[in-house]
Amino acid sequence: MIAPGWTASLARRWWPRRPAPARHGHFGLFVRYYLIVVLIYAVVVVGGISAWLCITDENSRAYGEAQLRGTHYLIEQRYLETPREDWPALGRELSERFAYPVRLASLAELRESLTAREWQRLQRGDVVMESEDEAYTYQRLPGTDQAVALGDFDDVMVQGVPWSELDLIDSIVILAMYFLAIALPLYFLVYRFWRDLRRLRTTAEALSAGELDARAPEVTTQLVNPLGHALNHMAGQVQQVLESQRILAQAVAHEIRTPLARMRFGLEMLEQAGGDDERAHLREGLETDIQRLEHLAAHSVAYARIGRMVGIEREPVPVAALLADLADVFEPEPPLMLSFDGGGVDCLPANREALELALRNLIANALRHARMRVAVSVARAGDGYALQVDDDGEGVPEADRERVFQPFAQLRKHPEGFGLGLALVRVIAEKHGGRASVADSALGGASFRIDLPAQ
């Protein structure tokens, strides 16, 4: 197996690295989000106000006309009480008293600017607000061809009023507070996101550089926190897989030396052998070593394949059919006895192929160490299921009960084993979300147990 570090160096040599993305600070990110939020607010507010003004335009003009009705009445009385030749002077005097211009407009002039409906109302003596821009109001002076015109209201003349009391200043202050109210919470929110994402990016860069023990620190943003946990979980899974691959590669290289040395020695002896019996014996030894290598390769591939799985697909497995298939595989010679007990369990959720492989390894291990009896049983255990393989052999010392599940660990060297069977059992149990363990058996030997969850 090729070492991961050598692969990474080869990749860096033959494939040029992509340029790193530009790193923008949180202030640039804040400005971008701020402009987007302000634009959305402006569109919503301005669009909403404009639509509302279009809907309520008629009511707003009627309200403005009602407000100015009393003002027009008082101005009308002043004009009617004043000789006609003094009306220009009166207009100048009133304009100085009011915040907007006061003047007289001829009916002929207004006939061109007012709509037909507004002209009719003006003829009746009503106060009329110009519909085009709502900046003027008019009311006809009774018995004359003149009308009192007030406005332009958009050009209000303010004199002697402190700047702090102007409507324009009020509007500017309100808008400033409005933009500030958007900016402050958005800035701190973007800053926290940027800070947490930068921490996650640093961890991801460390992992990509080969530092598999790097982990993301605890982040404070609730939306980013699950991403940090997922990144740490992924890093742990990758580290575990690579570590198991490293152990597997080292162990395979170690285990393969002995049969290869025997095969090389057997070939040399085969060339020098004289009789047929000697040749047959040497050939049988070579075939045995070849079978051991095939056995090692098959178990190594199975261990690597199952170890790489993030999860495992499960389906209802009929217990009776599973035990029947296992009974067909194993036919121990007397006085060894092998018994199966389904415990009244019809089905259990598991991967049929993987579970059968685990039980076959446990049964084969038990048959190698049992004196007379091996018992396989399935039973409900709390919210899950327990699968046990008991034997009446010498058992497993308590100090070695954890080591026995390690890859290539053998308490007693066996010519047919490599120490991968029980390691596969543990990996299969963990991929199902369960666990594998060993304890003392009621039969007097070892009791290997696989606990599987119900779902």
Q: pLDDT digit string (tens) for 167-198? A: 667 677 777 887 887 787 777 777 778 888 88
Q: Which is higher by pLDDT, 443 or 164?
A: 443
Angstrom distance (rounded) from CA 98 to CA 334: 123
Q: Which is higher by pLDDT, 135 or 119?
A: 119
Q: Which amino acid is at 97?
A: R
One CATH from 3.30.460, 3.40.1800, 3.30.1380, 1.10.287 for 225-307: 1.10.287
Both tokens assigned to 439: 């304890």
Give CA separation, 352 vs 181, 321, 344, 349, in Å.
Answer: 61, 11, 19, 9
Under 8 Å CB-to-CB from 432, ≥6 apart: which residues?
312, 314, 350, 351, 354, 355, 452, 453
Nearest by Cα to 223 from 202, 196, 203: 196
Angstrom distance (rounded) from CA 63 to CA 28: 47
Q: What percent of the chain has pLDDT over 90?
A: 11
**Do 102 and 148 form a contact (C-beta atoms < 8 A)?**
yes
Does 87 score more than 80 pLDDT? yes
**Do 9 and 170 form a contact (C-beta atoms < 8 A)?**
no
The pLDDT of residue 130 is 83
Does 399 score more than 80 pLDDT? yes
The pLDDT of residue 98 is 85
Work out the average pLDDT over 202-228.
Answer: 80
Does 16 score more than 60 pLDDT? no
Does 448 score more than 90 pLDDT? yes
The pLDDT of residue 25 is 64
Q: Which is higher by pLDDT, 412 or 110?
A: 110
pLDDT tier at 10 (50, 70, 90 boundaries)? very low
Sign of the C-alpha dihedral computed for residues 79, 85, 88 and 92 taken in this order: negative
Most confidently modeled range among 25-39, 65-79, 128-142, 308-322: 65-79
The pLDDT of residue 391 is 93
Both tokens assigned to 176: 């400033």
- How does pLDDT run across 310-349, given as a tens digit for each residue? 567 788 999 999 999 888 888 888 888 999 998 888 999 9
- How does pLDDT run across 262-316, given as a tens digit for each residue? 677 667 776 666 666 667 766 776 776 676 666 666 666 666 666 555 567 788 9
The pLDDT of residue 389 is 93
Average of per-residue pLDDT values in the chain: 77
The pLDDT of residue 311 is 61
The pLDDT of residue 397 is 87
Q: Beta 384-391 vs 446-453: how paired, if at all?
A: antiparallel
The pLDDT of residue 4 is 39
Angstrom distance (rounded) from CA 94 to CA 148: 11
pLDDT tier at 385 (50, 70, 90 boundaries)? very high
The pLDDT of residue 139 is 92
Has this prediction a pTM greater than 0.75? no
- Give the helix ranges, DSSP H, for 209-351: 225-272, 276-308, 319-329
The pLDDT of residue 21 is 45
The pLDDT of residue 305 is 61
Nearest by Cα to 298 from 244, 233, 357, 373: 357
Interhelix angle 421-431/352-369, rounded to 10 degrees, is 150
The pLDDT of residue 1 is 35
Q: What percent of the chain has pLDDT over 70?
A: 71
Q: In degrees, to the nearest 5, what angle opens at C-alpha 274 toward C-alphas 268 and 276?
A: 105
In the chain, where are the structural domains located? 54-157, 225-307, 312-453
pLDDT tier at 15 (50, 70, 90 boundaries)? very low
Containing 442, the helix (H) or strand (E) segment is: none
CATH code, 312-453? 3.30.565.10
pLDDT tier at 104 (50, 70, 90 boundaries)? very high
**Topology agreement, domain 225-307 and domain 312-453:** no
